[in-house]
Structure 1
Amino acid sequence: MDTNQITRVLSIYSRFYAGEGLNKRAIAAEFQVSEKTIQRDFNQIRDFLEQQGIQAPILYNASEKKYFWHERNSLLKPDVIYSTTKILLESRAFLKNEMQQIIEHLIGQINLDQRKILQNVLSSDMSGYRNLQTNISVTNLLWQLAKEIEEKNCIRIVYTKEFNPSKKPTVLFPVGIIFSEYYFYLIAYQTSFKPDYPTIYRIDRIQSLESQPHFKPSYDIAYFSESAFRDRIQFMYTGALMTIRFRFTGPSVQAVLDRIPTARQLHNNEFEAEVYGKGIKMWLLSQGPHIEVLSPASFRAEMKEEIQHMLSKYD
Structure 2
Amino acid sequence: MEQLLLGTTLDNQNIFIYRKPYQNVFRYWAEVKENNTLTSTAEMNSFSKVLRTLKMMQIKLENFKIIKGEHRFIQEFEIAQKGEKSHYTSQERVIDICQRLLAGEEISTKHDAIHYGVHSETIKSDIYTLRNILKSYDIESHGNYRIKHSNSLIITEAFVLLMMLYHNKSLILQEVQTIQEKIIQQFSGQERKNLSDFFKSFKYYYKPFIKIEQLEQIDLIFRAITHKKYIKFAYTNTLGNEKIRTVKPLTIILHDRMYYLICEEIESTSNNPKNFRLDRMQQLIVLHQSFKENQSKRFQPGNYIDESFNMFTGQKETIRLKIRPVIREYLLRKFPSATLISSNEEWETFEIIVLGTEGILFWILSQKADIEVISPQHFREKLKLTIQSMAQLYQIESVSDRSQ
Number of the residue aligned with 1:15: 100
Structure 1 residues 83 and 214 mapped into 2: Cα distance closer, same or farther (>3 Å)? closer
Counterpart check, 1:186 vs 2:261: yes
Counterpart selection for 1:210 from 251, 271, 285: 285
Greater gyration radius: 2
Number of the residue aligned with 2:270: 195
Counterpart selection for 1:306 from 369, 383, 386: 386
Partners in 1 of 2:107 and 2:222 — Cα distance? 41
The Cα shift of 1:71 comes to 6.0
Structure 1 residues 272 and 81 mapped into 2: Cα distance closer, same or farther (>3 Å)? same
Following superposition of structure 1 onto structure 2, how do residues 1-315 of structure 1 map, counting pairs within 5 Å?
A: 4-5=89-90, 7-23=92-108, 30-32=116-118, 35=121, 39=125, 43=129, 47=133, 56-57=136-137, 59-61=139-141, 63-66=142-145, 68-69=146-147, 72=150, 75-132=152-209, 134-166=210-242, 168-214=243-289, 222-249=297-324, 251-268=326-343, 269-276=348-355, 277-315=357-395
Q: Tell me, what secondary structure is at the counterpart of 1:148?
A: helix
Paired residues of 1:231 and 1:262 also in contact (CA < 8 A): yes
Q: Tell me, what secondary structure is at the counterpart of 1:156?
A: strand
Structure 1 residues 152 and 221 mapped into 2: Cα distance closer, same or farther (>3 Å)? farther
Number of the residue aligned with 2:81: none
Partners in 1 of 2:237 and 2:101 — Cα distance? 50
Q: Deviations over 1:260-314 (max 9, x none)?
A: 1332121121221111221111111111211211211111111111112222222
Partners in 1 of 2:138 and 2:107 — Cα distance? 10
The Cα shift of 1:83 comes to 3.2
Q: Deviations over 1:153-197 (max 9, x none)?
A: 22212211243142x221111111111100111110122344131
Unaligned runs of 5+ in 1: 50-54
Paired residues of 2:104 and 2:153 also in contact (CA < 8 A): no
Partners in 2 of 1:287 and 1:204 — Cα distance? 30
Partners in 2 of 1:257 and 1:27 — Cα distance? 48
Q: Tell me, what secondary structure is at the counterpart of 2:143?
A: coil
Q: More displaced, 173-182 or 276-285?
A: 276-285
Number of the residue aligned with 1:52: none
Task: Provide the aligned length of Structure 1 versus Structure 2.
Answer: 302
Q: Tell me, what secondary structure is at the counterpart of 1:279?
A: helix
Unaligned runs of 5+ in 2: 1-87, 396-404
Paired residues of 1:157 and 1:169 also in contact (CA < 8 A): yes
Structure 1 residues 193 and 37 mapped into 2: Cα distance closer, same or farther (>3 Å)? closer
Paired residues of 1:148 and 1:155 also in contact (CA < 8 A): yes
Q: Deviations over 1:50-98 (max 9, x none)?
A: xxxxx7437351x2243x45564x5444444333332222211211122
Q: More displaced, 109-118 or 174-183?
A: 109-118
Q: With structure 1 as the length reference, what TM-score do the two structures score? A: 0.81
Q: More displaced, 10-19 or 201-210?
A: 10-19
Q: With structure 2 as the length reference, what TM-score do the two structures score? A: 0.65
Paired residues of 2:320 and 2:376 also in contact (CA < 8 A): yes
Paired residues of 1:56 and 1:71 also in contact (CA < 8 A): no
Partners in 1 of 2:295 and 2:264 — Cα distance? 11
Higher share of residues assigned strand: 2
Paired residues of 1:174 and 1:188 also in contact (CA < 8 A): yes
Paired residues of 1:13 and 1:45 also in contact (CA < 8 A): no
Paired residues of 2:103 and 2:155 also in contact (CA < 8 A): no
Q: Tell me, what secondary structure is at the counterpart of 1:208?
A: strand
Paired residues of 1:18 and 1:108 also in contact (CA < 8 A): no
Q: More displaced, 33-42 or 105-114?
A: 33-42
